[in-house]
Chain A
Amino acid sequence: MTPAVRLLYAALLAAPCLLPAAASGTGVSFSADERAAVLSHGPWPPELRPDASNRVSGEAGAIALGKRLFAEPRLSSTGTIACATCHISARAFADGRPLGAGLRPLVRNTPTVWNARFNRWYGWAGAVDTLWGASIRPILDASEMAATADHVAGLLAADPGLAGQFETAFGVDPKALQSDEVLAGVGKALAAFQETLVTGRTPFDGFRDALADNDKAAMARYPRAALRGLKIFVGKGRCSLCHLGAGFTNGEFDDAGVSYFTRSGKVDQGRYEGIRLFRQSPYSGHGRHSDDRHGANANLTRHVMSQHRDWGAFKVPSLRNVAKTAPYMHNGSLASLHDVARHYSEIDMERLHTDGASILRPLHLTALEINDLVAFLQSLTSGEAP
C-alpha cells in the first residue's frame, strides 16, 4: 500500500465522521430506488469466468508467460517499450500522465488494466472486443511499440526460455506456427496475466453488503461524506446511469462534453474510429484467432452499429480505484477528481448536441457536495498493493 493510500484508509477508518449513517440519523436516507441502485453496484468481486475466446484463460502456464511478457521490452521494435512501461504497477497499472507515450507521443490517456477482464470493449474507442486482442493492438501500433508479427515470432524463436514457456502454455513450439499465430498466442498469454488483476474490496463494498444485510453497525463505519456523495451519485447526479453495476460502467461510449481535438485541425474520432478498426481487426472475438467466435460477447459485438453520435464519443470507464488513476478523461485533461466533479456539475451544454442524448445536465453542486462526491469516489479504492 502506498503512503497516499494508507493515508486515505486512515482517514476513512479513523476520522470523526465515521458515525452511524443512514440508519442513525445523519440525515442521509435512501429511497427504495436509490437503495436498489446502491445494491446494484455489487457484490464485489463478481464471478470470475474464463474467457471462452482465449483457450489459455486462467491457465497457470499462460499466466506465468504473460507476466513475463508484460515486462518484456523486446516485444517493441526498438527493444525499449514494454506493456509495463505505460501500465506501471506502482501507478495502478496506468502511467499518471495526461497523455500516454510510446515510441511517439500519444493522444489519449493511458487507461488502467485493473479489472480489464470485465470489459466488453477495450480502449477509449473500443477498437477491440477481446482482452488478448487489446494486448496485441499496442504491440503493432506504430506510435506505441511499432512491432510486427514477424518481430514477435522472431523474438520467441530466438529466446529458448520464452519459447519453452510458450510451448508449456499452448502445447506447441512457437517455431512451428505462423507469425500471426504466435502473436495471437502472445496476446492470449498477456491477457491471461491481466485477468489476474482484479481489484480488491473497498469501503464502499463493505457498506453495500452491510446495506444488503441491514447490518447497521457495519453501515455506520462508512464515512458520512462518502455516504452523502453516494446519494448524489445514484440520485440527482444520475452518475449511475452510465457508471452502473459492480464495475461502475455500462461498458459503452458517450460524449462527456470534453474537447476531442488532439491539436489544431486534428480530432480524435473516438468511438467512430473504434468501430471501424474493430471491424477490420483479425484479433476480434469473431475473428479467426478467437477460440469462441460464437460466444455471447462476440455475438453482441458483431451487431454493433456505427452512429453519427459515435464521433468523439469515448468509453465510460470503470470507477473502481479511480482515485489512483489521475489524471482523468480520454485526454487526461482533468487533473483531479474534484476537477471531474466540477466538470460534470457545470457541464457546458453547448458542447452536447441538442438532439443527442439528454443525459447530462448542469447539476450546480455546492463545494460541499463536490467534496462529498469525491469522498464517495475515493471510497471505491481497494486496499491491495498497487
Chain B
Amino acid sequence: MGTTMIRGMLWAVAAALLATAPARAQSPLADAHIHYSHDAWEMLPPAEAIKVLRQAGLKKAFVSSSSDQGTQMLHAQAPDLIVPVLRPYRRRGETGTWFRDASVGDMVADLLAKNTYAGIGEFHLFGKDAELPVPRRIVQLAAKYGIFLHAHSDADAVERIFAQNPEARVLWAHSGFEPPEAVAVMLRKYKHLWSDLAFRSEHASDGKVDPAWRKVFMEFPDRFMLGTDTYVPERWYYVVEQAAWSRRWLADLPREVGENIAYRNAEALANWALKTDASACASGQTMAKDGYRLSYRFEPAAIQVGQPFAMQIAVCAPDDQPFTGEVRVGAAMPAHGHGMNYKPTVQQTAEGRFHAQGLMLHMRGHWQFNFELLTETGIVRLGADHRQK
C-alpha cells in the first residue's frame, strides 16, 4: 500500500472521528502519554494533530517524540495545550540501546539548554541498567532542571532511580504494568511517584471501576493520571475514543477523585515542572514594577541575529497573587528608532505563564524588550535592555 493511500485512509478516519465526536462541552482531561514521532507527523500534520487533541477535550497533553522535533512542532502550534517532555531518542528503535549510548547525555543536555521541558522521557529502562552512566546523567539532569522523569520501567529500576536521587519526581509509565496492590506499595514508599494508566484496561470495564483499583485510586487520589500512548501513528485516531472511554469510568468515582485523575494530577505535575508558581518569576531575566514581577527566557537560550526565536514569560501579581491579565511583548532599537518587522503573538500556557512567538532581531546592537501587562487596573510597562551580538 502506498504512502499516499495510507495517508488518504488516515485522513478519512480522522475526518470521520472529528465528524462523529460530540460537539457538547466535555469534562476536561489531561493525557500524560502522547508521542508524536516522525511517522506520525508525516501522516498527521501538527495542526491536524492539535485538532484531534482538542476534539478529545484535553486541556493538557504530555508529548514526547522520537525525535524531539515532533514535540516542538506541536508545542509551537498549541503552547497552552502541549506539555513538552524530552525523549532521549533520536528515532524509533533506540528503546533498547539508549542507556548505553554515550552521546545521549549530551543530546539531552543540549536540548534542555535550548528548550523548555516538563520532564525527560518516556524512556525504557529496566533493573540494573538504571545504574549505567547514561541513565544516571539523565537523573542528574532532571534534578538540575527541576523536572520529572517519565519512566517505562519495572519497579526495580524505579527504586534505583530514587536511590540515586530521593527527591526525584517520577511518572511511572503504565504504572509499570504492575497489579494494583504492587502499585500501591510503590506509591506508599515513594511520595514523589506518580502513575499513568496508559495502555491499561483492567482498571475499568463498561464504565465501572475494578474494586481493587478503586481501593488504590481512593488511597492515592493525587497520584494517578490518564494516558493514551500513541506509540504508532494509527493510535492518534484512538485518542478521542480513549478519552470517551476514560470519561465513562471516571464518572464511577467520587467526583473529586475522578477530576483529579482526569486532569488535576497531571496539571499539578506539569505546573510544578514548568515552574508556574511564584518562583518562576524569579528565574531567568527578571524585572519588577508596581509590585508585578516578570521573568523571561529565550528559546533557544542564545538568540541569533536574523533568526526567529520565542520567549517563555512568567508574570506574578503583587504579593505573589496569581496574575490573571494579558501580556504583550515587543522590541525596539532605541538608537535606530525602529522596532522589529514582526508582531509577536503571545499565548497563555498556564496561570501567569505565557509563550511569545514570532520574534526576530534583524540587526546587531542595543535592543530593548518592552513588556505590557494588561491588568484590571491598567497597563504596567516594563523594559529590559538586550545587546544582540
Using known A-B contacts A294-B47, A305-B342, determine if residue A358 contacts B305 with beta carbons closer than 8 Å: no
Distance in angstroms between the alpha carbons of A305 and B4 in the assembled complex: 37
Interface residues of A in 301-332 (CB under 8 A from B): 302-305, 307, 309
Using known A-B contacts A299-B76, A299-B357, A357-B336, determine if residue A241 contacts B308 with beta carbons closer than 8 Å: no
Using known A-B contacts A250-B305, A359-B336, determine if residue A36 contacts B389 with beta carbons closer than 8 Å: yes
Please, which residue of chain B has its CB at the minimum distance from the CB of A306? B343
From A241, A304, A356, B364 is in contact (CB under 8 Å) with A241
User: Tally of A-B residue pairs with Cβ under 8 A?
Assistant: 70
Using known A-B contacts A250-B363, A252-B362, A294-B77, determine if residue A303 contacts B345 with beta carbons closer than 8 Å: yes
Measured as residues with beta carbon below 8 angstroms from the partner, the interface class of chain B is: 20 to 34
Contact B45 A294 (CB under 8 A): yes
Distance in angstroms between the alpha carbons of A240 and B363 in the assembled complex: 9
Interface residues of A in 152-199 (CB under 8 A from B): 171
Inter-chain contacts of B364 with A (CB < 8 A): 37, 240-241, 244
Interface residues of A in 240-292 (CB under 8 A from B): 240-242, 244-245, 250-253
User: Least Cβ distance of A307 to chain B in Å?
Assistant: 7
Q: At the interface, yes or no: B383 with Cβ under 8 Å from chain A? A: no
Q: At the interface, yes or no: B135 with Cβ under 8 Å from chain A? A: no
Interface residues of B in 1-57 (CB under 8 A from A): 4, 45-47
Contact B344 A241 (CB under 8 A): no
Inter-chain contacts of B362 with A (CB < 8 A): 250-252
Contact A303 B45 (CB under 8 A): no
Contact B341 A305 (CB under 8 A): yes
Inter-chain contacts of B337 with A (CB < 8 A): 355-358
User: Least Cβ distance of B201 to chain A in Å?
Assistant: 34
Q: At the interface, yes or no: A4 with Cβ under 8 Å from chain B? A: no
From A253, A303, A358, B342 is in contact (CB under 8 Å) with A303
Q: At the interface, yes or no: B338 with Cβ under 8 Å from chain A? A: yes
B316-344 contact mask (Cβ, 8 Å, vs A): 1 or 0? 00000000000000000001111011111
Distance in angstroms between the alpha carbons of A303 and B76 in the assembled complex: 13
Interface residues of A in 342-361 (CB under 8 A from B): 355-359
Distance in angstroms between the alpha carbons of A359 and B46 in the assembled complex: 40
Contact B76 A305 (CB under 8 A): no
Q: At the interface, yes or no: B179 with Cβ under 8 Å from chain A? A: no
Q: At the interface, yes or no: A10 with Cβ under 8 Å from chain B? A: no
Measured as residues with beta carbon below 8 angstroms from the partner, the interface class of chain A is: 20 to 34
From A36, A245, A296, A355, B306 is in contact (CB under 8 Å) with A245
User: Least Cβ distance of A250 to chain B in Å?
Assistant: 4
Using known A-B contacts A294-B47, A294-B77, A303-B358, determine if residue A241 contacts B341 with beta carbons closer than 8 Å: no
Contact B45 A304 (CB under 8 A): no
Inter-chain contacts of B343 with A (CB < 8 A): 303-305
Q: At the interface, yes or no: A293 with Cβ under 8 Å from chain B? A: yes
Contact B363 A293 (CB under 8 A): no
Contact A307 B341 (CB under 8 A): yes
Please, which residue of chain A has its CB at the minimum distance from the CB of B308? A300
Contact B306 A300 (CB under 8 A): no
Interface residues of B in 299-323 (CB under 8 A from A): 305-306, 308
User: Least Cβ distance of A178 to chain B in Å?
Assistant: 15
Inter-chain contacts of B76 with A (CB < 8 A): 294, 299
Inter-chain contacts of A303 with B (CB < 8 A): 342-345, 357-359
Using known A-B contacts A253-B341, A303-B345, A304-B342, determine if residue A241 contacts B363 with beta carbons closer than 8 Å: yes
Inter-chain contacts of B363 with A (CB < 8 A): 241-242, 244, 250, 359
Contact A299 B335 (CB under 8 A): no
User: Least Cβ distance of B360 to chain A in Å?
Assistant: 6
A217-258 contact mask (Cβ, 8 Å, vs B): 1 or 0? 000000000000000000000001110110000111100000
Distance in angstroms between the alpha carbons of A244 and B307 in the assembled complex: 12
Q: At the interface, yes or no: B73 with Cβ under 8 Å from chain A? A: yes
Inter-chain contacts of B4 with A (CB < 8 A): 171
Task: Return 19 A-B CB contacts under 8 Å, by A number.
Answer: A241-B363, A241-B364, A244-B363, A294-B77, A297-B308, A299-B76, A299-B357, A299-B358, A302-B358, A303-B358, A303-B359, A304-B342, A305-B340, A305-B341, A309-B338, A356-B337, A356-B338, A357-B338, A359-B363
12 further A-B contacts with Cβ under 8 Å, apart from A245-B306, A294-B47, A304-B343, are A36-B389, A241-B363, A241-B365, A251-B306, A293-B45, A296-B308, A299-B357, A300-B360, A304-B341, A356-B338, A358-B336, A358-B337
The 10 closest A-B pairs by CB, nearest first: A303-B358, A300-B308, A305-B343, A357-B338, A303-B342, A250-B362, A252-B362, A294-B46, A358-B337, A250-B306
